[in-house]
């Protein structure tokens, strides 16, 4: 590593481009966008037709309803540039210009200097499977429901109970399961509370405490895994050093949230008034949300209805939660045994012969996977029946809504609306003009109105207007012919009198039958396979769909990018700058400087994972500088720097940008699906005082800890 301390390399044009690309990549991660790419229409259509000819995709729809689209010579495709694609494109570009080579790719994926990216990712994904499987069993929602009952409607007490609940649970299973279930639970709870004006206090507090708690255990956050691997920290030693600053932070932040930031009864009422769940709803068997269409039409009604009916559906979600007791108990046992085994083996192992920790989590995740597969297969008939019933109910509800919309847009209803307006105008004119009293000035018989429509069913029916057909064809295609026929047969006799009703139904049925006759393709086979997996193995399918797979390409690409900065001389430049700062400010300056730097970089250096990778390499280069100069770093200063970085990269997730962590992006998406919009400015404005007090408290406690527990003797790696 001695040659990597040469800072003269930064004058090379490849080194300059490497740094520029690193900065641009992080800006794109912070502000993702799409790049338009235009291809000739004939080439686009030929590609689709070719894929359809070999049964990869269904045949394209030759729709002539939009002639202006047909006249365009080019088709626009939007290429996403985000946290997954931007680092990967940057790495490929650096490879193309020979700025990096085989060594950088190897060190950024297989590992170097104590950091093994593949081992870290396998460990985190396998442990995440166990944690998300526990979440899928309904345990977190059920426990949150019990906490809600314990709060007994007292606002401050309930806020404290939920705050403590999320902190304790997040300390063991990490922040992702808390965000997956806890965010949805709070969205439902605040929706059914009549005197909580805005959920801001509850959702921001939950997001903050979930990330604070994830700093305690190494296994709770991938940033902790990177840090522990980079500096050879035993898992138990890491927890011992982090638990005091984190717990004190959680204790101090709570009254700060309750009495200063969210000191408003519209946010945290003294007494929470919630809608009551009827005895009939309480007696219902809880529905497993992992089964597709398990709630039937209620799934769409909940999203579309914001009145009392919508609130009732949300109330059922939190007051009558589903719990798979067997899955929750088995998952909890597996998680506890896994964490205890990891801590014990890691503490007892020799650093020179240490085995990868995923050797423990991978078998545990496989056992959990087998349990989920087995229980799914045993109950497959029940889950398939629930899914089929729910799908039929959903299709019937969609067909009914479609029928009602087409009835409202029919010429008869339009004419009737015109008649109502004419009656209203006539009534107003009679009341305003006294000379018209007693005189029949306007005949409002529907037969005499010049609309071209008479009440007799035997009259000529004009052609069906285009808007009605457009409305019919705009609905989802997941409709079976039988469901539409049944909906038509069960409709009231009056509905058959609507002009063009039969034409519309025949058109819809014909279209649906045509769709069912389309040839089987690879896409439809995958769709059918996925639907079969959802109905047969609902828990496994949900857990796998929630695993943070985008973390894999992002983390590996960021590791390679940072390794490029190492070999091109930029990391040593940063390390020399850090060394000058520590020489002038000492241990206290090291804690404050690294804490501030890590929080800031979380927002501008590719999330907290990218920040941890970069700063770990900088500290390693700082170690090498002192080793070469034979000027050892004091034990107190070194560990103060490392643990202040641990605080910063965990707390930095709730700072100023959603992209400061992958958990922030997940949190925002879940809230958006629950119709709670949190803007970027609001996110930064609310979180700034929270992150300020959290870092101030955590770093202050850390200063006292290192002065009490660490000595000024030279650090021995």
Q: Is 322 exposed, middle or buried (0-12, 13-18, 19+ CB in 10 A)?
A: middle
What value, to the nearest 5°, has the Cα angle with vertex 38 and ends 34 and 40? 155
pLDDT for 517 equals 64
pLDDT for 353 equals 56
Look at the chain and count its residues: 717
pLDDT for 714 equals 83
Cβ–Cβ < 8 Å for 115, 230: yes
Last residue of a domain, one of 466, 496, 519: 519
pLDDT for 351 equals 59
Number of domains composing the chain:
2
pLDDT for 631 equals 86
Query: How do residues 251-282 score in pLDDT, each as one tens digit?
Result: 999 999 999 998 888 888 888 877 676 777 77
Of the CA atoms within 13 Å of residue 561, those in its CB half-sphere come to 32
Q: Output 119 or 502, whichever has higher pLDDT.
A: 119
Query: How do residues 328-343 score in pLDDT, each as one tens digit?
Result: 999 989 988 988 888 8
The predicted model gives 349-366 an average pLDDT of 79
Q: Is residue 370 domain-resident?
A: no
Last residue of a domain, one of 81, 104, 138: 81
CA distance 240 to 250: 16
Q: Is residue 627 domain-resident?
A: no
CA distance 292 to 390: 8
Last residue of a domain, one of 501, 519, 537: 519
Query: How do residues 125-172 score in pLDDT, each as one tens digit?
Result: 898 899 889 888 888 888 888 888 787 778 888 899 999 999 998 888
Q: Is residue 293 domain-resident?
A: no
Residue percentage of the chain with pLDDT more than 90: 25
Cβ–Cβ < 8 Å for 429, 436: yes
Cβ–Cβ < 8 Å for 319, 282: yes
Query: How do residues 484-522 score in pLDDT, each as one tens digit?
Result: 334 434 434 333 333 333 333 434 444 444 445 678 889
Residues 6 or more apart in contact with residue 14 via CB below 8 angstroms: 97, 98, 99, 568
Q: Output 207 or 356, whichever has higher pLDDT.
A: 207
Picking from 611, 625, 646, 612, the residue whose alpha carbon sits closest to that of residue 581 is 625
Q: Is residue 77 domain-resident?
A: yes
**Best-predicted range by mean pLDDT (59-68, 456-465, 503-512, 603-612):** 603-612
Q: Is residue 92 domain-resident?
A: no
| Rg of the Cα atoms in the chain | 31
Q: Is residue 680 domain-resident?
A: no
Cβ–Cβ < 8 Å for 624, 226: no
Picking from 184, 71, 337, 152, the residue whose alpha carbon sits closest to that of residue 669 is 184
In this prediction, residue 541 has a pLDDT band, given cuts at 50, 70 and 90, of: very high
Number of Cβ within 10 Å of residue 389's Cβ equals 13
The predicted model gives 621-639 an average pLDDT of 89
H-run or E-run covering 111: none
Of the CA atoms within 13 Å of residue 473, those in its CB half-sphere come to 12
Q: Is residue 272 domain-resident?
A: no
Q: Is residue 65 domain-resident?
A: yes
Query: How do residues 390-429 score in pLDDT, each as one tens digit?
Result: 888 888 877 887 777 777 666 666 667 667 776 766 665 5
pLDDT for 368 equals 94
Structural domain harbouring 63:
33-81
The predicted model gives 577-604 an average pLDDT of 91
Picking from 514, 511, 504, 308, the residue whose alpha carbon sits closest to that of residue 405 is 504
- Helix, strand, coil percentages in the chain from 3-state DSSP, rounded to 5: 70, 5, 25
Cβ–Cβ < 8 Å for 497, 345: no
pLDDT for 70 equals 55
Q: CA 80, 557, 601, 21 torsion: positive or negative?
A: negative
Query: How do residues 51-84 score in pLDDT, each as one tens digit?
Result: 988 988 888 876 544 555 556 788 899 999 988 8
β-pairing, 74-81 vs 33-40, is: antiparallel
DSSP 460: P
Both structure tokens of 695: 């870092």
CA distance 537 to 530: 10
CA distance 117 to 110: 6
Does residue 244 have a pLDDT over 80? yes
């Amino acid at each position: 590593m001695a040659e990597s301390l040469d800072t003269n390399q930064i004058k090379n044009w490849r080194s300059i481009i490497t740094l520029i690309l690193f900065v641009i990549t992080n800006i794109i991660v912070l502000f993702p966008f799409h790049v338009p790419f235009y291809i000739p229409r004939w080439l686009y259509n030929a590609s689709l037709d070719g894929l359809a000819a070999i049964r990869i995709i269904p045949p394209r729809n030759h729709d002539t309803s939009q002639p202006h689209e047909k006249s365009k010579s080019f088709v626009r495709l939007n290429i996403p540039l985000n946290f997954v694609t931007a680092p990967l494109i940057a790495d490929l570009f650096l490879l193309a210009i020979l700025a990096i080579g085989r060594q950088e790719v190897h060190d950024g994926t297989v590992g170097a200097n104590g950091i093994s990216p593949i081992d870290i990712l396998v460990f985190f994904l396998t442990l995440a499977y166990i944690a998300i499987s526990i979440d899928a069993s309904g345990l977190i929602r059920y426990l949150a429901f019990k906490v809600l009952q314990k709060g007994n409607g007292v606002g401050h007490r309930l806020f404290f109970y939920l705050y403590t609940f999320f902190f304790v649970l997040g300390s063991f299973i990490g922040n992702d399961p808390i965000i997956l279930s806890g965010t949805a639970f709070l969205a439902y709870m605040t929706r059914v509370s009549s005197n909580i004006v805005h959920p801001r206090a509850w959702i921001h507090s939950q997001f903050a405490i979930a990330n604070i708690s994830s700093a305690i255990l190494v296994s709770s956050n991938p940033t902790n895994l990177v840090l522990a691997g980079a500096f050879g920290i035993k898992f138990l030693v890491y927890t011992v050093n982090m638990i005091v600053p984190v717990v004190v932070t959680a204790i101090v932040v709570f009254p700060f949230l309750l009495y200063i930031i969210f000191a408003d009864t519209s946010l945290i009422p003294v007494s929470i008034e919630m809608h009551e769940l009827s005895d009939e709803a309480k007696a219902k068997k809880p529905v497993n949300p992992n089964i597709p269409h398990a709630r039937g039409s209620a799934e769409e009604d909940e999203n579309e209805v914001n009145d009392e009916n919508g609130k009732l559906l949300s109330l059922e979600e939190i007051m009558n939660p589903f719990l798979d007791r067997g899955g929750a108990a088995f998952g909890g046992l597996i998680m506890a045994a896994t964490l205890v085994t990891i801590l014990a083996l890691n503490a007892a192992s020799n650093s020179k012969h240490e085995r990868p920790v995923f050797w423990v989590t991978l078998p545990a995740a496989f056992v959990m996977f087998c349990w989920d597969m087995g229980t799914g297969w045993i109950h497959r008939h029940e889950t398939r029946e629930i899914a089929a019933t729910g799908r039929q109910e959903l299709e019937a509800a969609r067909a009914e809504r479609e029928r009602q919309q087409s009835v409202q847009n029919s010429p008869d209803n339009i004419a009737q609306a015109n008649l109502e307006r004419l009656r209203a105008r006539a009534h107003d004119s009679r009341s305003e003009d006294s000379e018209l009293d007693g005189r029949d000035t306007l005949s409002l018989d529907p037969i005499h109105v010049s609309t071209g429509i008479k009440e007799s069913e035997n009259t000529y029916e004009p052609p069906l207007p285009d808007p009605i057909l457009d409305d019919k064809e705009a609905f989802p295609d997941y409709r079976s012919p039988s469901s539409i026929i049944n909906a038509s047969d069960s409709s009231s006799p009056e509905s058959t009198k609507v002009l063009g009703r039969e034409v519309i139904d025949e058109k819809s049925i014909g279209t649906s039958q045509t769709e069912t006759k389309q040839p089987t393709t690879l896409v439809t086979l995958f769709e059918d396979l996925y639907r079969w997996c959802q109905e047969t193995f609902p828990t496994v399918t949900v857990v796998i769909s929630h695993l943070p797979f985008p973390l894999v390409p992002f983390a590996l690409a960021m590791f390679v990018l940072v390794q490029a900065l190492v070999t091109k001389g930029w990391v040593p430049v940063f390390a020399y700058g850090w060394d000058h700062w520590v020489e002038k400010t000492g241990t206290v300056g090291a804690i404050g400087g690294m804490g501030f730097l890590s929080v800031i970089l979380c927002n501008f250096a590719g999330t907290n994972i990218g920040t941890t990778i970069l700063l770990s390499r900088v500290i390693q280069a700082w170690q090498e500088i002192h080793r070469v100069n034979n000027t050892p770093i004091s034990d107190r200063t070194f560990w103060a720097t490392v643990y202040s970085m641990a605080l910063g990269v965990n707390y930095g997730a709730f700072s100023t940008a959603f992209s400061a962590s992958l958990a922030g992006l997940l949190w925002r998406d879940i809230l958006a699906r629950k119709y709670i919009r949190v803007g970027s400015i609001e996110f930064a404005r609310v979180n700034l005082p929270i992150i300020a007090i959290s870092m101030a408290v955590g770093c202050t406690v850390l200063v006292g800890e290192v002065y009490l527990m660490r000595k000024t003797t030279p650090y021995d790696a």
